[in-house]
């Protein structure tokens, strides 16, 4: 088994180091990750400037690694199409510091790396620890190990990835697993107005998460809050099939220009 590991926190992040340790023995591991943090970059790719790549000496010499001056999606794209001699069997992105729940997946570099994997036809998994302060990735790395094996033993739809969020609590407090759907992640966004030393205006994004308006445990935002390991199948077809007929009734298809 060939495993491509990436992230959006950068190749130096503890989360990716612990992920690699947790996957030890599952298969041959290749790390291709951003040279610096690229959190919340979405599915951006580099198109009008060179992508610098250098080999990175991983602590475990059996792991081949590259640091990429680009986005998480760049890492997966250049890894699968160029750097690796053979296509990997799976892409695993993480372990992210902080959750990727609900509508946050649209901003997430972690999830976007996994999306790039399925765009290129490789089963993919994104995994996050639901904390910005915890440094204990033990349970999350065990979860990645379990799901990596499951995904390779069970055929997942080729256009689908699994987005996983692991509570940052002791194992005794984890209630179990939930297969979930995306919820809504809302924030009380506040742009703080500041001035730099030269008197120029700038703004700093801050704010707090708004609690879910429902307690439906089928939603990832609720399941994670209640200390379940949330596993959400996601695909990249954003079509709203429910309203296609409604839009057709506007007569768009018969309109002239």
Q: Where are the alpha helices (DSSP H) in 122-209?
A: 138-153
Are 167 and 227 contacting, i.e. CB atoms less than 8 angstroms apart? yes
For 106-157, write each residue's pLDDT tens digit: 999 999 999 999 999 999 999 999 999 999 999 999 999 999 999 989 988 8
Are 6 and 113 contacting, i.e. CB atoms less than 8 angstroms apart? yes
For 19-54, write each residue's pLDDT tens digit: 999 999 999 999 999 999 898 888 899 899 999 999
The CATH T-level fold of domain 2-183+213-254 is Stationary-phase Survival Protein Sure Homolog; Chain: A, (3.40.1210)
Question: CA-CA distance, 6 to 131, in Å (whole number)?
Answer: 19
pTM for this prediction: 0.91
Tell me the domain boundaries of the chain: 2-183+213-254
DSSP-based three-state secondary structure for 239: coil
Phi, psi of 240 (to 5 degrees): -95, 90
User: Nearest 5 degrees, angle CA 172-CA 14-CA 22?
Assistant: 55
Mean pLDDT of 90-115: 95
Q: Is the pLDDT of residue 191 over 80?
A: yes
Q: Is the pLDDT of residue 208 over 80?
A: no
**What pLDDT is recorded for position 211?**
77
For residue 186, what pLDDT band results from cuts at 50, 70 and 90? confident
Question: CA-CA distance, 7 to 70, in Å (whole number)?
Answer: 12
Q: Is the pLDDT of residue 256 over 90?
A: no
Q: Is the pLDDT of residue 162 over 80?
A: yes
**What pLDDT is recorded for position 190?**
78
């Amino acid at each position: 088994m060939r495993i491509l590991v990436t992230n959006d926190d950068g190749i130096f992040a503890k989360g990716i180091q612990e992920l690699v340790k947790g996957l030890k023995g599952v298969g041959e591991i290749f790390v291709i990750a951003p040279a610096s943090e690229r959190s919340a970059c979405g599915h951006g790719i580099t198109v009008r400037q060179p992508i610098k790549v250098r080999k990175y000496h991983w602590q475990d010499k059996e792991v081949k690694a590259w640091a990429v001056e680009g986005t998480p999606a760049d890492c997966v794209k250049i890894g699968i199409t160029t750097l690796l001699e053979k296509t990997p069997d799976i892409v695993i992105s993480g372990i992210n510091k902080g959750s990727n729940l609900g509508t946050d997946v649209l901003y997430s570099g972690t999830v976007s790396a996994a999306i790039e994997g399925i765009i290129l036809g490789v089963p993919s998994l994104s995994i996050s620890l639901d904390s910005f302060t915890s440094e204990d990735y033990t349970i999350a790395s065990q979860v990645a190990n379990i799901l990596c094996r499951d995904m390779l033993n069970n055929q997942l739809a080729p256009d689908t990835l699994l987005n996983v969020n692991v509570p940052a609590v002791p194992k005794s407090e984890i209630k179990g697993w939930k297969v979930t759907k995306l919820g809504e992640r809302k924030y009380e966004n506040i742009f703080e107005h500041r001035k730099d030393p030269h008197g120029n205006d700038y703004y700093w994004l801050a704010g707090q998460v708004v609690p879910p308006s429902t307690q439906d445990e089928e939603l990832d935002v609720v399941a994670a809050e209640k200390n379940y390991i949330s596993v959400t199948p996601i695909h990249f077809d954003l079509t709203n099939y429910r309203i296609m007929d409604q839009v057709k009734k506007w007569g768009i298809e018969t309109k002239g220009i």
